Amino acid sequence: MDLDFERLHALQQAGSFFVTRAKSNFKCRRILWRPIYRSTGLICDQIVEFIVYYSKQAYPERLRRVRYRDDEGGTPVFLTNNVMLPALTICALCKQRWQVELFFKWIKQHLHIKRFIGNSQNAVKTQIWTAVATYVLVAIVRKRLNLDLSLHAMLRILSVTPFEKTPLFQLFSDVHTLHATREDDNQLVGRSRAPARRSQVLRNRSTGPRPSRFGAAWLPG
């Protein structure tokens, strides 16, 4: 996928910083070399600028280029507009992008964002940020109340009790106690049924078909 340098420049103008992976055919001119320690896996840390006309028109400012040797022997190249963070931090941020993707996948699965209610940019952002705020609030409640319930279970409980006036700690504690009691009951029922199953097997064996002296099973008429 081609890099959208116009969008990256918009982030730069908004005062944000980004970290992205450069393509293999990325062309630039090196302006400044920054000191590195190769023992950490870094190959280079440079300040560069575009030499391709259209890329330079889309992003006229300079970028930071960091190259790193990963555990698998690859040498990915990262581009960023942040010149303050250490080079290893830049590499770590890009490596953690998969965790960010898993986070949004979790939001889609557990917060039920199957489709967007509106098509405008404001509507999409509002729905996503509402889902993120819900996730963060539930995570804070779980941490402060020191609950053993999973976030998914807590969200399910809240979805069926939106108008309950019960305190959250009491609500989650009652559900957790009920769940534990049901598990204990299931274990007791399973243990009580085990001897019955064994006795049934023995009874079937005693009343089962008896072999004849010719080796064939005797079939009742």
pLDDT, one tens digit per residue, over 46-58 is: 999 999 988 889 9
Cα-only R_g, the chain? 31
Domain count, the chain: 2
pLDDT above 70: residue 199: no
Highest mean pLDDT: which range of 134-143, 148-157, 176-185: 134-143
Average pLDDT of the segment spanning 48-76: 90
149 in Cβ contact with 176 (< 8 Å): yes
Q: How many CB atoms lie within 10 A of CB 36?
A: 19
Domain of residue 24 covers 5-95
Q: What is the pLDDT of residue 177?
A: 59
- Model pLDDT, residue 61: 92
* Percentage of the chain exceeding pLDDT 90: 24
Strand ranges inside the chain, DSSP E: 19-21, 28-33, 42-50, 63-68, 77-80
CATH of the domain at 34: 3.30.1370
Whether 124 and 144 map to the same domain: the answer is: yes
Last residue of a domain, one of 66, 95, 124: 95
Rounded CA gap, 136 and 130, in Å?
10
Residue 129 within a domain? yes
Q: pLDDT value at position 220?
A: 43
Quick one: 91 and 107 in the same domain? no
Q: Over 60: is that where the pLDDT of 162 sits?
A: yes
Same domain? For 158 and 168 the reply is yes
In a domain, 16, yes or no: yes
Percent of the chain with pLDDT over 70: 76
Global pTM value: 0.51
Q: Domain for residue 157, yes or no?
A: yes
Answer yes or no: is 67 within a domain: yes
* Residue 79 sits in the same domain as residue 101: no
Query: Distances from the Cα of 179 to the Cαs of 87, 149, 159, 186, in angstroms?
Result: 49, 10, 17, 11
Task: Give domain status of residue 160, yes or no.
Answer: yes
Q: How confident is the model at residue 208 (pLDDT cuts 50, 70, 90)?
A: low
CA distance linking residue 62 with residue 105, whole number of Å:
34
Residues 40 and 63 in one domain: yes
Is there a domain that residue 215 lies in? no
DSSP 8-state code for residue 23 = P
Beta-bridged to residue 211, according to DSSP, are 217
User: Is 207 a domain residue?
Assistant: no
For residues 184, 186, 191, 195, the Cα torsion angle rounded to the nearest 10 degrees is 160
